[in-house]
Amino acid sequence: MSAASTARAEILRRATAAIGAAGAEPVTVPRRYRSAGGLGPEGRVDLFCERAADYRARVHRFAAAELDAALAARCEELRARRLVAAPAAPWRPGGAEVEVDDPPLAAARLDQLDGVLSGCAVAIAETGTVVLDGSPLCGRRALTLVPDLHLCVVAAANVVETVPEAVAALAPAVAAGAPLTFVSGPSATSDIELQRVDGVHGPRQLELFVVWY
């Protein structure tokens, strides 16, 4: 046997011996925690906006018809002129130059752009989180990571209240092999005297555009 297969066999053998009798008794997991929330659609979106803002994401709420103008205005304010968009992200803020990540841009190129535009798969109200799933609307992982500004459009219909609801909603994507990124506010560190400082390696600014379609 090779060293590798010996190691595998030995670890499994040791673990089997170690658990002994405990291995025979199945452990039941009590799942008495809340799996779903009780808020309606409006309440969920309100909570999401409040919680996301708590972690210093900038949150903007619009009707679908106003989105393009709002994006354009915000890009202008932030002086974000050169953007990259996820392949299926349809938004084109007027006044900004938008490249589409199809074919994929090199990481060094992403580093030179002002910001990235994407959608999200699910948003979690209780924690103010958006989840990206690598789909064409969200883009590959590097896309929403390297640029310093992330403009993320959140469809109100995709906002769930609790973490368990989000995990359930993401199960098919994971089963299909999608990589996931949970994003709650801009990149941060608490490493200096436990003080949360925004912006280390990921985007230092996270702008969320919550839209009712």
88-105 as b/e: b if 16+ CB within 10 A: ebebbbeebebebbeeeb
Q: Which residue has the tokens 């839209």?
A: 211
Smallest separation (angstroms) from another protein to the CB of 78: 18
Nearer to another protein, 63 or 191 (CB): 191
Name residues contacting another protein, limited to 42-61 (CB under 8 A): 51, 54-55
Q: Considering CB under 8 A, how many residues would be counted as binding another protein?
A: 80
For CA atoms 130, 135, 139, 141, the dihedral sign is positive
> Are 15 and 7 within 8 A, CB to CB?
no
**From candidates 45, 187, 205, 208, binder to another protein by CB under 8 A:** 187
Binding residues among 107-126 for another protein as defined by CB under 8 A: 107-108, 111, 124, 126
Q: What does the radius of gyration of the chain's CA atoms come to, in whole angstroms?
A: 21
Q: Quote the CA–CA distance of 206 and 187 in Å, as a whole number.
A: 9
Q: Which of 15, 36, 69, 157 binds another protein (CB under 8 A)?
A: 15
Q: How far is the CB of 157 from another protein (least distance, A)?
A: 21
Site string for another protein, 143-172 (x = CB under 8 A): --xx----------------xx-xxx--x-
- Interface with another protein (CB under 8 A), residue from 53, 73, 76, 182: 182
Among 38, 65, 77, 175, indicate the residue that binds another protein (CB under 8 A): 175
Q: Tell which residue, 153, 121, 138, 123, has the closest CA to residue 47.
A: 123
